[in-house]
Structures are given as C-alpha cells and as structure tokens.
Copies of this chain bind each other. A is one copy, B any other.
C-alpha cells in the first residue's frame, strides 16, 4: 500500500475506498515507478506488489510472468504515446510539418512524464539473457512514422530523394540520445529547450529548403 496515491479519492463511493482501482491497474502503475527507479532486472515482483498494495498471487493472477507484465506495460505506454503524437500531428498540412510537430510533441510529452521515458527508453534494454528488441515497440513505430513522412516529403517535393530508412533511424537515434541525456544527466532542463536546435538540425540534415526552416 506504501506509496500508492489514488486521485479523486473524495468523490469515490464507500466500497471503493479500499481498492480504488482494480489490481491489474494498480500493479501497472506501481511497475512504472519501480521500473523507472531500478530497471528491469532490479525491479523485483515483491517490490512491485508492495508498492501497488497488492500481492504476488494477484500479480500472477493478472499476468502470466514478470516479462509479460512489462511487455503489456510497454505496449500500453508506447501505444498511448504514439496515438497522442499522431493526434497532435493530424492538422499539419505538410509532411515535414507533421514530423516536426511529432518530434515536438514527443519531447513535450516525455518532458512532463520522466518516468515513462525511463521505462520506455532505458530500463528494458539489454535486460536479462536476451538482447532482442521485444521491449522496444516505440523505437520501430516512431522510426516508421518518420520514414513515412520523409517519403511523403519527397513525393510532394519538399526534399530531394534520399535513403529515408537510414535517415529515419538516424533521426530517431539523435532524438533518443537527447532524451537519454536529459534522463541521465538532467540536461537540458527542461528537455524542451532542445526542441528548436534539434528540429533545425534534423531538417537541415535532409536538405529542407531554407524557407521551410525559417517558418518552423
């Protein structure tokens, strides 16, 4: 029960006082915190259930294993993140406009939710015995989003033809690294201070026209 703080406690009905949210949700919520603090290996099931105010039995009733639970968590978080990003991007008329807005949205979201960034980007990489990317759906999704818009930008003549796949990964890597540094060494603070330089540089890297650079 330790440090679990339900929101809107006052307006809940009597029977909900003990278990304001269902156990599954509370476990996932607790897991974000514990994973952000200790990483995949360091996050013990015991600590997660202690923080969530549930029990090991409940944990394994709702999830078939610790790994599956983290996968569910990462999936949920990255899906939300991508959805929110795509929503913000919807009204932009041009491909480059959409990438730029998308990147800004990503930085802004992470800036507000440090722990989520931690879990999605750091803790679950290279855990345990496997080195695959099963915990990194966001990596693929965001890179693909960038690639598609760069391809569109080529189609509509915003930029010249080039290897968009490789460049999309470079862009993702550049963004990722900036977020990582913010997570680990705390700079820049706030993270969003990096937005302008980051976007300007990325646009230049694909030879976006000066006029576009000025507008952004």
Q: Tell me the A residues contacting B by CB distance below 8 Å.
A: 37-42, 118, 122-133, 162-163, 166-167, 169-178, 180-181, 183-185, 188, 194, 197-198, 201-202, 204-207
CB neighbours of A205 from chain B (8 A):
201-202, 204-205
A38 to chain B, nearest CB (A): 5
Q: Do A129 and B204 touch (CB < 8 A)?
A: no
Q: Which residue on B lies nearest to A179, using beta carbons?
A: B173
A62 to B169, CA, bound (A): 41
A88 to chain B, nearest CB (A): 22
Q: Do B197 and A167 touch (CB < 8 A)?
A: yes
A185 to B128, CA, bound (A): 19
CB neighbours of A118 from chain B (8 A):
131
A124 to B183, CA, bound (A): 17
Q: Do B197 and A129 touch (CB < 8 A)?
A: no
A101 to B213, CA, bound (A): 29
A130 to B175, CA, bound (A): 23
A131 to B171, CA, bound (A): 24
CB neighbours of A124 from chain B (8 A):
126
Q: A126-B127, A129-B38 are in contact. Are A178 and B188 (CB under 8 A)?
A: no
Q: Do A163 and B123 touch (CB < 8 A)?
A: no
With most chain B CB atoms within 10 A of its CB, the pick from A124, A133, A181, A206 is: A181
Q: Which residue on B lies nearest to A124, using beta carbons?
A: B126
With most chain B CB atoms within 10 A of its CB, the pick from A131, A175, A178 is: A131
